[in-house]
Amino acid sequence: MFAIGITAAIILYIVAQKFKVIENPLIDEVVELLPGAHCGGCGYPGCRALAETMVKRGSLENLNCPVGGKEVMGQIAALLGLVAEEKEPMIAVLRCNGSKLNAPDKVLYEGATSCSFLHQLNVGESGCPYGCLGQGDCVFSCKFDAIAIDSKTGLPVIDNENCIACGACVKACPRQIIEIRFKGKKDRRIYVSCVNKEKGGIARKNCSVACIGCGKCVKICPYEAITMENNLAYINFEKCKLCRKCVKECPTNAITELNFPVIKEKAQPNTEVEA
């Protein structure tokens, strides 16, 4: 018995030495610093994969852990003697304001609670072929508790603190309504809360805050940050300086401004969409 034990121990020791994987000890240290959520937000399959890439590449260019953020990236940079990129914080944005009030239900859907399924089967309860279906595929996909359906509006709401812009909800949405945009200075951001490409008259039949493609926002923007394509306006978040001129100009309130102080002169129905 004792002899078998010793033999086994010797064999195990030899095999362990022969098949030992020599790894850079820095990888383990980087993994310690990383949050360990293995969310894929960095674009790599798990924290260890990111750590390996960082150490092997010898540079932190285009590598970023959105969950750890600036703090963790700074620590890793210090450990590896590299420079961490200054990344603008990003967040997921729902580009639709077709709430139960703005885009009332024309029909009732009773099927699998799945946006992908409803999208395939039918235009949806509001009648807008581009609008949010409210079944919560995005909520189901979020691993950070950063998105939930508001029962009053029927639309998903993205949590300002929890969202780390990993992009899972962007992939889950069958209508590509969610976009990752700059979080903005003081968490302020402006975006066109509509992705409807139909002609204005048709779009408005289903939703009172649809973008009708009139182009007034494009003309008023002093920074040429807004473009129009297929009856739909789009604000380039890299060019937008948050001057708010387009929000006032839009005749259908299709542009949403988040986390701004309310201007007292007139009611801003779109700022009811909370952060």
Partner 1 sequence: MKTFKLGGIHPEENKISAQQPIEVVPIPKTVFIPVSQHLGTPAKPIVEKGDVVKTGQLIAKGEGFISANVHSSVSGTVLKVDEIVDYSGYRRLSIVIETEGDEWMDTIDRSTELKKECTLDSKAIIGRINEMGIVGMGGATFPSYVKLNVPHGKKAEYLLINGVECEPYLTSDHRLMLEKGREIMVGITILMKALHVNKAMIGIENNKKDAFQLMTDLAKEFQGITVHTLKVKYPQGAEKQLIKALINREVPSGKLPIEVGCVVHNVGTAFAVYEAIQKNKPLFERIVTVTGKSIKKPSNLLTRVGTSISDLIAMTGGLPDDSGKIISGGPMMGRALSNADAPITKGTSGILVMPEKESKRVATMNCIRCGRCVTVCAMGLEPFLLAKLAENQSWEEAEAEHIMDCMECGSCQYTCPSGRPLLDHVRVGKNEVAKIIRTRKN
Binding site for partner 1 (CB under 8 A): 106-107, 110-114, 116-117, 120-124, 127, 129, 198, 202
Amino acid at 75: Q
Least distance in angstroms from the C-beta of 111 to partner 1: 6
Burial class (CB in 10 A: 0-12, 13-18, 19+), 275: middle
Cβ closer to partner 1: 114 or 227? Answer: 114
Least distance in angstroms from the C-beta of 226 to partner 1: 27
Backbone angles phi, psi at 2, to 5 degrees: -65, -40
Amino acid at 238: E
Least distance in angstroms from the C-beta of 163 to partner 1: 20
Cβ closer to partner 1: 113 or 227? Answer: 113
Least distance in angstroms from the C-beta of 116 to partner 1: 5
Least distance in angstroms from the C-beta of 253 to partner 1: 25
Cβ closer to partner 1: 56 or 106? Answer: 106
- Rounded Cα distance, 190 and 29, in Å: 40
Cβ closer to partner 1: 110 or 265? Answer: 110
Cβ closer to partner 1: 17 or 120? Answer: 120
Least distance in angstroms from the C-beta of 233 to partner 1: 21
String of DSSP letters for 182-212: E--GGG-EEEE-----S-HHHHHHH-TT---
- Rounded Cα distance, 225 and 240, in Å: 5
- Please state whether beta strands 147-149 and 189-192 pair in parallel, antiparallel, or not at all (unpaired): unpaired
Amino acid at 63: L
Contact 176, 110 (CB under 8 A): no
- Rounded Cα distance, 17 and 221, in Å: 67
- In 3-state terms, what secondary structure has residue 178? strand
Cβ closer to partner 1: 112 or 267? Answer: 112
**SS3 track for 136-151:** CHHHHHCCCCCEEECC
Least distance in angstroms from the C-beta of 128 to partner 1: 9
Cβ closer to partner 1: 113 or 259? Answer: 113
DSSP-H helix ranges across the chain: 2-18, 25-33, 47-57, 69-80, 115-121, 137-141, 168-172, 200-206, 216-220, 245-249
